[in-house]
Amino acid sequence: MVNLTIDGKQIAVAEGTTIMEAAAMLDITIPKLCYLKEINEIGACRVCVIEVEGMDRVVTSCNHLVEDGMVVMTNSPKVRDVRKTNVQLILSEHNSNCPTCIRNGNCSLQDLADHMGLLSVPYKTSYEEGFTDTEFPIIRDSSKCIKCMRCVSFCDKVQGLEVWDVINTGYRTTVGVKDNKEMAEANCSMCGQCVTHCPVGALTVRRDIKDVYDALHNPDIITVVQVAPAVRAGFADALGVDGEELTQGQMVTGLKQLGFDYVFDTNFTADLTIMEEGSELIHKLTHRDEYAWPMFTSCCPGWVRFMKSEYPEMVDQLSTAKSPQQMFGAVAKTYFAEKIGVDPSRLHVISVMPCSAKKYECSVDEVNVVSGVRDVDTVLITREMLQIMKMDNIDLANLEESEFDSPLGEGTGAAVIFGASGGVMEAALRSAYFLLKGENIDPDAFKEVRGFTERRELEANVDGTVVRCAAVSSLGEARELIEDIKAGKVTYDFVEVMACPGGCAGGGGQPINDGEERGALRGSRLYQLDRDNKVRYSHENSEVQILYKEYLEKPLSEKSHHLLHTHQKD
């Protein structure tokens, strides 16, 4: 153990502990800006400086280890002076037009300046104006970049993609797309993790709120909104819920108050996806020799883009089932349009998603147009839904509960766990068991696949058919898994990959709580919703059963193929 004193308090900590961690154990908070635990501990912002007795210079506490006998001051006059100068220098290179910044009110630099009582910046202000392609779902404003390097580190270390890099030299040094490429040319998965890990407003997700308002105010248009599984878990954050309390019904009421004509649930088509993807898996397992293995899930567009750019030779191994978002659009503009007797061109389908990449997915033609018009017209991320509710003065704290509309509003417990890593696999196995054996298995029988980013493996014995499964989240883990498959180290039949750590619960469109990883908590809310649902098997979704009866016939029918499947060739 190492003994030291911090702000007059003694503590013994394990060797290898940083000064910042040791201080936290004493409930002493050292201000920080660029720090991300185990991902970005580089002391770039120099905000976390502290003074050590006997040293003539201050040091950064995030990456300096404790030493025996150290006497540390975290808030001495010298520390405050240096910290103040450092923050003022950062501000001098930052476009501080806070009122019109997307992160106004949720910005770590703004909070820091407030915390330190800064009222002026004595240095000449200089920052470089410039946006990346504003049509792309991920947008970078270089005038806001504080060169903290979080985006570079996260994309590199967690997602294994290296989209961002330090560019230029000298006083023009900044962060940009690696090799000075355009965003569209980079191998960006559009997962949006750089955005949710940016402490300021330098990285944002494209806004599409205006399209939604235009549709809502056009009397000739019928608006149909679908809400992704993980959004409800993010909505709970906005209500200030700390635990697993459930708020799905309040979110539905909020959407109804916004004026959407129909408020439906993506969970409905998550159940439909299971019927199609589960049947596809069973078909392939019974014709093993005709296919390359494993079969990969395909509902995460960040992962699908990653496959296309990094492993194009394996794209055919993606399930042909469209994502629930796209299945919803296809069903809404055909079956539902017919049911209410309107031409599909009069429907405007809006998705609320925890995901920036879904803005791209809905624009891929091959996935996207079955009715002659775009199946999903506009995608809002969870943060945009919350913004639009704020703009419409919706009182979140006092919303009553209400139900989704019918006939595309029913979702089972199996569907809602799509939003957590491992959930798609678990839901598929529950129904595959039924499809093969004709009876239900305990809905929690496959719970070993639940988890966060780490690889989870499971051998499911379904009526004599062994299905070797694996689930991971984050693209770095996905790359390792694929490399292991290619090297012959592992053999699987069915693999689930979600691009964001923890799956969509930790998606790039979810509320930003800087410095906190809320993916696991939000995932546990989804498992709670699963437990609370009376129906926990996709094949028991009564509205899905009616859809097959009235329209699609059966999974993998010709009509199902036309509406619900694709071959990810684009």
Binding marks (x or -) toward ligand SF4, 187..226, rule CB under 6 A? ----x-----------------------------------
Task: Kindly state whether residue 349 participates in binding ligand HC1, applying the rule CB under 6 A.
Answer: no
CB of residue 192 to ligand SF4, shortest distance in Å: 7
DSSP strands (E only) in 373-514: 378-381, 456-462, 465-473, 494-498
> Exposed, middle or buried, 244 (CB in 10 Å: 0-12/13-18/19+)?
middle
Q: Cα–Cα–Cα angle for 524, 300, 444, nearest 5°?
A: 35
Task: Kindly state whether residue 300 participates in binding ligand SF4, applying the rule CB under 6 A.
Answer: yes
Interatomic CA distance for residues 387 and 389, integer angstroms: 5
Which residue in the list 504, 538, 540, 560 is annotated as catalytic? 504
Contact range with ligand SF4 by CB under 6 A, out of 159-167, 410-418, 500-508, 559-567: 500-508
CB of residue 139 to ligand SF4, shortest distance in Å: 16
> Out of 6, 70, 347, 355, which residue is the one contacting ligand SF4 (CB under 6 A)?
355
User: Binding partner of residue 302 among ligand SF4, ligand HC1, none, CB under 5 to 8 Å per kind?
Assistant: ligand SF4
Amino acid at residue number 378? T
Tell me the backbone φ, ψ of residue 153, rounded to 5 degrees: -65, -40
CB of residue 508 to ligand SF4, shortest distance in Å: 6
Binding marks (x or -) toward ligand HC1, 476..515, rule CB under 6 A? ---------------------------xx--x--------
Q: Where are the alpha helices (DSSP H) in 311-374?
A: 324-331, 337-340, 357-361, 365-368
Task: Kindly state whether residue 422 participates in binding ligand SF4, applying the rule CB under 6 A.
Answer: no
The whole-angstrom distance between residue 116's C-alpha and the CA centroid of its chain comes to: 32
Task: Kindly state whether residue 541 participates in binding ligand HC1, applying the rule CB under 6 A.
Answer: no
Task: Kindly state whether residue 359 participates in binding ligand HC1, applying the rule CB under 6 A.
Answer: no
Farthest CA pair distance, the chain: 81
> Out of 20, 66, 353, 564, which residue is the one contacting ligand HC1 (CB under 6 A)?
353
Which residue bears the tokens 């694709």?
Answer: 566
Contact range with ligand SF4 by CB under 6 A, out of 20-28, 169-177, 248-256, 502-510: 502-510
Which residue bears the tokens 């506009």?
Answer: 378
Please say whether the beta carbons of 16 and 56 come within 8 A. no
Nearer to ligand SF4 among residue 44 and residue 163 (C-beta): 163
Cβ neighbour number for residue 480 with a 10 Å cutoff:
14
Tokens of 482: 């694929």
Task: Kindly state whether residue 499 participates in binding ligand SF4, applying the rule CB under 6 A.
Answer: yes
Own/partner contacts of 121-127, CB < 8 Å, gap of 24 or more, are: 121/88, 121/91, 121/92, 122/88, 123/88, 123/89, 123/92, 124/92, 125/92, 125/93, 126/92, 126/93, 127/93, 127/94, 127/95
Task: Kindly state whether residue 451 participates in binding ligand SF4, applying the rule CB under 6 A.
Answer: no
CB of residue 270 to ligand HC1, shortest distance in Å: 4
Radius of gyration of the chain (CA): 25
CB of residue 66 to ligand HC1, shortest distance in Å: 41
Task: Kindly state whether residue 236 participates in binding ligand SF4, applying the rule CB under 6 A.
Answer: no
Tokens of 409: 């509003």
> Out of 31, 199, 229, 302, which residue is the one contacting ligand SF4 (CB under 6 A)?
302
Task: Kindly state whether residue 357 participates in binding ligand SF4, applying the rule CB under 6 A.
Answer: yes
Catalytic annotation present for 504: yes
Half-sphere exposure of 174 (CA within 13 A, CB side): 20
Omega prior to 407 cis, within 30 of 0: yes
Catalytic annotation present for 366: yes
- Going from the C-alpha of 414 to that of each of 87, 129, 207, 274, 474, the distances in angstroms are 48, 47, 31, 9, 22
> Out of 91, 102, 500, 552, which residue is the one contacting ligand SF4 (CB under 6 A)?
500
Please say whether the beta carbons of 372 and 344 come within 8 A. yes
User: Binding partner of residue 389 among ligand SF4, ligand HC1, none, CB under 5 to 8 Å per kind?
Assistant: none
Q: Which of 102, 95, 87 is nearest to 32 (CA)?
A: 87
> Out of 228, 246, 376, 427, which residue is the one contacting ligand HC1 (CB under 6 A)?
228
Q: Where in 136-195 is the site for ligand SF4 (CB under 6 A)?
A: 191
User: Binding partner of residue 270 among ligand SF4, ligand HC1, none, CB under 5 to 8 Å per kind?
Assistant: ligand HC1
Handedness of CA 26, 32, 38, 41 (dihedral sign): negative
Catalytic annotation present for 358: yes
Which residue in the list 276, 277, 384, 410 is annotated as catalytic? 277
Contact range with ligand HC1 by CB under 6 A, out of 71-79, 89-97, 350-358, 534-542: 350-358
Q: How many residues bind ligand HC1 (CB under 6 A)?
A: 19
Q: Which residues bind ligand SF4 (CB under 6 A)?
A: 191, 300-303, 354-355, 357, 498-500, 503-504, 507-508
Q: Please give the positions annotated as active site.
A: 277, 280, 299, 319, 358, 361, 366, 504
Residues that bind ligand HC1 (CB under 6 A): 228-230, 266, 270, 299-300, 323-325, 353-355, 358, 418-419, 503-504, 507
